[in-house]
Amino acid sequence: MNVIAEKYSSNDVGAYFLYTHEAHPGEHMPHLTSLEQKFSHAAKLRDILGVTRPILVDALDGACHRAFGSMPNMTWIFNRSGLILYKSDWTDAHSVENALIYFLEVLQRRQAGERLAPFHVERMDYRNQDRQKFYQGLERNGPKAVTEFRNAFPDG
């Protein structure tokens, strides 16, 4: 997502990372109990994942996360007026870039004088499921996170 943010920044596209909470807390990244701890976790995540976009930190009670659907890895694209152009219950760079390209082309078409009317679309996208990378993230949080996930999703 950092690459996409950089690639489209010249098109006046802003990209932010909203840190909500650890989906799978463990001994190293425990359940959040204070805003100070939440800011610390967000900074660790920034450093571990190399996030270069500005990171916004949700309230301790997760008010923003709940308002936007409560899924663990969502992406939303808004226009300047705040209209939702795209929302996905999972972040996939290819899907996000595909949407950005489309909406930037719509902007160009409008600037060229084409009259366009919006309509709603639903589609199924597919993402790569890298289990090894996922478990590395769980291990980063601690053995408890791995055990709890394996117990909850034995086929996962």
If residue 86 lies in a helix (H) or strand (E), which one and from where to where?
strand 84-88
Number of domains in the chain: 1
Segment 37-58, tens digit of pLDDT: 999 999 999 999 999 999 999 9
Per-residue pLDDT reduced to its tens digit, 71-96: 989 999 999 999 999 999 999 999 99
**CATH number assigned to the domain comprising residue 10:** 3.40.30
- The C-alpha atoms of residue 138 and residue 44 are separated, in whole angstroms, by 14
Query: Cα separation of 140 and 116, whole Å?
Result: 48
State the pTM of this model: 0.87
